[in-house]
A and B are shown apart, each in its own frame.
Chain A
Amino acid sequence: MQMPIYMDNHATTPLDPRVLDAMMPFFKDQFGNAASRNHAFGWQAEEAVETARKQVASIIGANAKEIVFTSGATESNNLALKGVAEMYGERGNHIITAATEHKCVLDSTKKLEKHGYRITYLPVMADGLVDLDMLRESMTDKTILVSLMYANNEIGVIQPVREIGKLCKERGVLFHTDATQAVGKIPVNVISDNVDLLSISAHKMYGPKGVGALYVRRKSPRVQLTAQMDGGGHERGMRSGTLNVPGIVGLGSACHFAAAEMAEEAKRLRYLRDKLKDRLLSELDETYVNGSMEHRLPNNLNISFAYVEGESLLMGVTDIAVSSGSACTSATLEPSYVLKALGAGDDLAHSSIRYGIGRFNTEQEVDYVAEKTIAVVKKLRELSPLYEMVKEGIDLTKVQWTAH
Chain B
Amino acid sequence: MAYSDKVLDHYNNPRNVGSLDKGSANVGTGIVGAPECGDVMKLQVRVTEATGIIEEAKFKTFGCGSAIASSSLATEWLKGKTVDEALSIKNTDIVTELSLPPVKIHCSVLAEDAIKAAIDDYKKKQGVPAAEPAVEVGAH
Contacts and interface: CB of A to CB of B under 8 A. Distances in A.
Interface of A: 307-309, 311-312, 315-316, 326-329, 331, 333, 335, 345-347, 350, 382-388, 396, 401-404
A396 B11 contact: no
Contacts of B131: none
Given A328-B64, A333-B103, A383 B14 contact: yes
A21 to B, nearest CB: 35
B106 interface: yes
Given A385-B31, A385-B42, A388-B19, A312 B63 contact: yes
B60 interface: yes
B62 A384 contact: yes
A311 B106 CA distance: 15
A226 B31 CA distance: 57
B37 A404 contact: yes
Contacts of A315: 3, 11, 64-65
Interface in B27-42: 31-42
Contacts of B14: 383
- From A309, A346, A347, name the one whose CB has the most chain B CB atoms within 10 angstroms: A309
B62 A311 contact: no
Interface string B20-53: 0000000000011111111111100000000000
B35 A350 contact: yes
B61 A385 contact: yes
Given A309-B62, A384-B62, A402-B33, 13 more contacts: A312-B11, A312-B64, A312-B65, A312-B68, A315-B11, A316-B11, A328-B104, A335-B38, A346-B36, A350-B38, A386-B35, A401-B40, A403-B33
B99 to A, nearest CB: 16
B130 interface: no
A326 B40 contact: no
A159 to B, nearest CB: 28
23 contacts: A307-B62, A309-B38, A311-B64, A312-B63, A312-B64, A315-B64, A326-B64, A333-B103, A346-B35, A346-B36, A350-B38, A383-B17, A384-B60, A385-B40, A385-B42, A386-B35, A396-B35, A401-B35, A401-B40, A402-B31, A403-B33, A404-B33, A404-B34
3 A-B pairs closest in CB distance: A401-B34, A346-B36, A385-B42
Contacts of A402: 31-34, 113, 117
B98 interface: no
B34 A385 contact: no
A404 B64 contact: no
A316 to B, nearest CB: 8
B110 interface: yes
Contact of B60 (A312, A388, A404): A388
A291 to B, nearest CB: 20
